[in-house]
């Protein structure tokens, strides 16, 4: 490993730095006041901490926010976004004062909570409390994995997370913190902003955890630094102590005072979520020693000081670029991992299936896809919430991620669905890896908060949601998803694919790997036949969301049967029954509404001709199907405990019932 000279340090100028901290506090007052909306108090209290992080501790280059070996920063309590925006402006990430003036306004680069891919310097989308906490754990996993698989010359950095009382109260933080301690993830530095205030009032209304003991029990290094929120020397020392711990994640407990130094609102719930009034803003600015009648005041000397972060960061990045250029490893694999995709031509490794192979559950098919393509997707890391074999995530040859093997390419998330979702978003947000996470589809409800943030931020993650219908059988209605398909299809930005057989699963995997943003694969527990025609037609048809799998012999169908997943083969068998009666039926496989909706109108009408009666067949809620079908074979109630085949039969998912419903539709 190359030894680089120390980067240039920013000059220590305590009076100027204190003025800079006070300017940050002034901006924290002015942004919410201009918007008449927002959270000034936490940003004011944590201004010294943010100052120390951005100017003394973090390795970052404001002129290149996506430099791969930068330290990562996550503001988990994203309601304090004005703090992050102030630092991104001051240190030179491209924000301007006008961006701060338009805080929380339509179209601005400074939305109410930080959004990844929207504001330069924002690593992950935060706001729903606890999500950023879990994201940081994912970033720690990604950094260690990349450092192990490639080289410290390419990946050698830390992740810093600020989290508040709300983050620690949310259950996802317990899940993520437990796993981080279990994996002994060093290079994670969390600061707990212990300000004792929530929107309702003092945290003691509902919360009196011993946070230090809780995190020590998880296996974290805990440093309770107490009342040093305004002591930049003590803050820097604490951060550097935590940074030096390579064996454990670190938690710094910092007692801060929300709204400081407001004369009337310090330590008040009002400072949490309400802009300051005129008199309080003026009085606070007078205490800070900044012009009380000016807004968004930033003197040139302060701006010049913070902008020195740019040449410092450029020097750090240049050192990394020299190490990277000298590295003699597999550059193509590194580049593919950084892109989150496969090596050139990886699609050639996709398996193909034929009807002679016999029936195969689509959860088994996804495992076959991982086994076949894993070597060509360098950053691939599957995992599961305690259902590794059940969800197809047991990739052949993958060693479990552990303290002994930090390069393991399989993650046992434990029974932590929500934590898994948030950690996957963090892995994707870090870059360099493609996380795939499995659980039963019904338990997607447990991880839905993280899934929504992943969709909003377009995190490149893949969900393997199996046991997708009443066809899973004996576990009964607690485990049989009904409304989940409709709910996930309603989520903007989430690509939902329910493949009909193994060949469609392979093509769904191709779409998931090659696309950006999140993809949900909704897969069967029960075995399904490999359908005639999918091997040829799904290659082009599945990426378009829907396609004609079979047409009537004379090419003039009287009815269209539309199926997804395990019900497509029922449509084919029902079409055979209808054909024996002289009724021609077209069978359409429609695995992805989202992909289908992207197609041109001519294609949509070619697949679903206007005027032809249409019957949808799906073992899930009928909600939403009226956009494509005139009638529905569906299930709009909970299922029952029974063998899967019996449950499907009892609730009408048989070729005979589908054919009968098609006849009824034609009669109408």
Q: Catalytic site residues?
A: 417
Query: What residues have CB less than 8 Å from 388, skipping those under 6 apart?
Result: 394, 410, 412, 438
Look at residues 275, 267, 249 and name the one whose alpha carbon lies nearest to residue 177: 249
User: What does the alpha-carbon distance between residue 291 and residue 272 come to, in Å, rounded to a whole number?
Assistant: 23
Contact 593, 545 (CB under 8 A): yes
How many angstroms separate the Cα of 376 from the Cα of each of 99, 333, 622?
43, 9, 39
User: What does the alpha-carbon distance between residue 189 and residue 242 come to, in Å, rounded to a whole number?
Assistant: 6
User: What does the alpha-carbon distance between residue 89 and residue 21 come to, in Å, rounded to a whole number?
Assistant: 14
Crossing angle of the two packed helices 502-514 and 362-373, in degrees rounded to 10: 50
User: What does the alpha-carbon distance between residue 340 and residue 66 come to, in Å, rounded to a whole number?
Assistant: 14
Instruction: Using the structure block, give the residue that is written with the tokens 């057989």.
Output: 501
DSSP string, 212-269: HHHHHHHT-EEEEEES-TT-HHHHHHHHHHHHT-SSS-EEEEEE--TTTT-TTTTT-T
User: What does the alpha-carbon distance between residue 374 and residue 359 come to, in Å, rounded to a whole number?
Assistant: 23
Residue 533: left (phi > 0), alpha (psi -120 to 50), or beta? left
Contact 199, 274 (CB under 8 A): no
Determine which helix (DSSP H) or strand (DSSP E) holds 513, and give its type and residue range.
Answer: helix 502-514
What count of other Cβ atoms lies within 10 Å of the Cβ of residue 579?
Answer: 14
Query: What residues have CB less than 8 Å from 5, skipping those under 6 apart?
Result: 319
Sheet holding 188-194, edge to edge: 72-75, 159-164, 188-194, 250-255, 221-226
Tokens of 502: 């193994």
Tokens of 294: 């000016």
DSSP 359: -
How many angstroms separate the Cα of 584 from the Cα of each of 632, 654, 656?
19, 19, 15
Contact 160, 72 (CB under 8 A): yes
User: What does the alpha-carbon distance between residue 623 and residue 481 come to, in Å, rounded to a whole number?
Assistant: 14
Determine which helix (DSSP H) or strand (DSSP E) holds 149, and give its type and residue range.
Answer: helix 131-149
């Amino acid at each position: 490993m190359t030894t680089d000279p120390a980067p240039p340090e920013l000059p220590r100028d305590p009076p100027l730095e204190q003025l800079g901290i006070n300017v940050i506090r002034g901006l924290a007052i002015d942004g919410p006041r201009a918007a008449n909306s927002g959270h000034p108090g936490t940003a004011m209290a944590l201004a010294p901490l943010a100052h120390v992080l951005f100017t003394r501790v973090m390795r970052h280059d404001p002129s290149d926010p996506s430099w791969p070996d930068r330290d990562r920063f996550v503001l988990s309590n994203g309601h304090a976004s004005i703090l992050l925006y102030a630092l991104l402006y001051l240190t030179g990430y491209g924000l301007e004062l006008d961006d701060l003036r338009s805080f929380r306004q339509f179209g601005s680069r400074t939305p109410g909570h930080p959004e990844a891919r929207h504001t330069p310097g924002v690593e992950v989308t935060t706001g729903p409390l606890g999500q950023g906490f879990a994201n940081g754990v994912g970033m720690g996993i990604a950094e260690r994995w990349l450092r192990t698989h490639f080289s410290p010359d390419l990946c050698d950095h830390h992740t810093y997370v600020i989290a508040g009382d709300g983050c620690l109260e949310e259950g996802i933080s317990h899940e993520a913190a437990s796993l981080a301690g279990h994996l002994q993830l060093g290079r994670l530095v969390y600061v707990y902003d212990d300000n004792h205030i929530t929107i309702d009032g003092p945290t003691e209304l509902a919360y009196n955890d011993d946070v230090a003991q809780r995190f020590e029990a998880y296996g974290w290094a805990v440093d309770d630094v107490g009342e040093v929120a305004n002591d930049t020397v003590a803050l820097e020392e604490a951060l550097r102590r935590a940074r030096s711990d390579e064996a454990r994640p670190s938690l710094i407990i910092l007692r801060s005072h929300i709204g400081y130094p407001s004369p009337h609102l310090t330590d008040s719930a009002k400072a949490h979520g309400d802009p300051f009034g005129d008199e309080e803003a003026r009085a606070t600015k007078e205490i800070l020693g900044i012009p009380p009648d000016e807004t968004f005041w930033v003197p040139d000397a302060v701006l010049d000081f913070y902008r020195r972060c740019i040449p410092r960061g450029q020097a750090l990045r240049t050192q990394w670029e020299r190490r990277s250029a000298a590295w003699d490893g597999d550059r193509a694999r590194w580049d593919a991992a950084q892109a989150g995709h496969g090596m050139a031509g990886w699609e050639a490794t996709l398996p193909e299936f034929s009807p002679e192979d016999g029936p195969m559950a689509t959860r088994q098919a996804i495992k076959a896809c991982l086994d076949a393509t894993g070597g060509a997707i360098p950053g691939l890391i599957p995992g599961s919430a305690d259902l590794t074999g059940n969800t197809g995530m047991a990739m052949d040859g993958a060693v479990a991620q552990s303290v002994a093997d930090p390069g393991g390419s399989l993650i046992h998330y434990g029974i932590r669905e929500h934590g898994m979702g948030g950690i996957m978003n963090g892995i994707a947000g870090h870059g360099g890896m493609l996380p795939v996470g499995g659980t039963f589809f019904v338990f997607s409800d447990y991880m839905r908060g993280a899934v929504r943030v992943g969709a909003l931020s377009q995190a490149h993650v893949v969900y393997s949601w199996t046991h997708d219908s009443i066809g899973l059988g004996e576990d009964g209605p607690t485990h049989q998803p009904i409304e989940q398909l409709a709910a996930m299809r309603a989520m903007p930005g989430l690509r939902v694919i329910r493949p009909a057989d193994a060949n469609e699963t392979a093509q769904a995997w191709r779409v998931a790997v090659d696309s950006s943003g999140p993809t949900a694969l909704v897969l069967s527990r029960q075995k399904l036949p490999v359908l005639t025609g999918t091997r040829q037609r799904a290659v082009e048809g599945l990426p378009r969301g829907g396609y004609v799998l079979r047409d009537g012999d004379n090419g003039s169908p009287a009815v269209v049967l539309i199926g997804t997943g395990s019900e497509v083969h029922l449509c084919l068998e029902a079409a055979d029954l209808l054909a024996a009666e002289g009724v021609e039926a077209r069978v359409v496989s429609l695995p992805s509404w989202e992909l289908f909706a992207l197609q041109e109108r001519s294609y949509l009408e070619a697949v679903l001709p206007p005027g032809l009666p249409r019957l949808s067949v799906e073992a899930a809620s009928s909600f939403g199907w009226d956009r494509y079908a005139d009638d529905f074979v569906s299930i709009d109630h909970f299922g029952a405990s029974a063998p899967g085949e019996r449950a499907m039969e009892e609730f009408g998912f048989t070729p005979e019932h589908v054919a009968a419903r098609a006849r009824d539709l034609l009669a109408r």
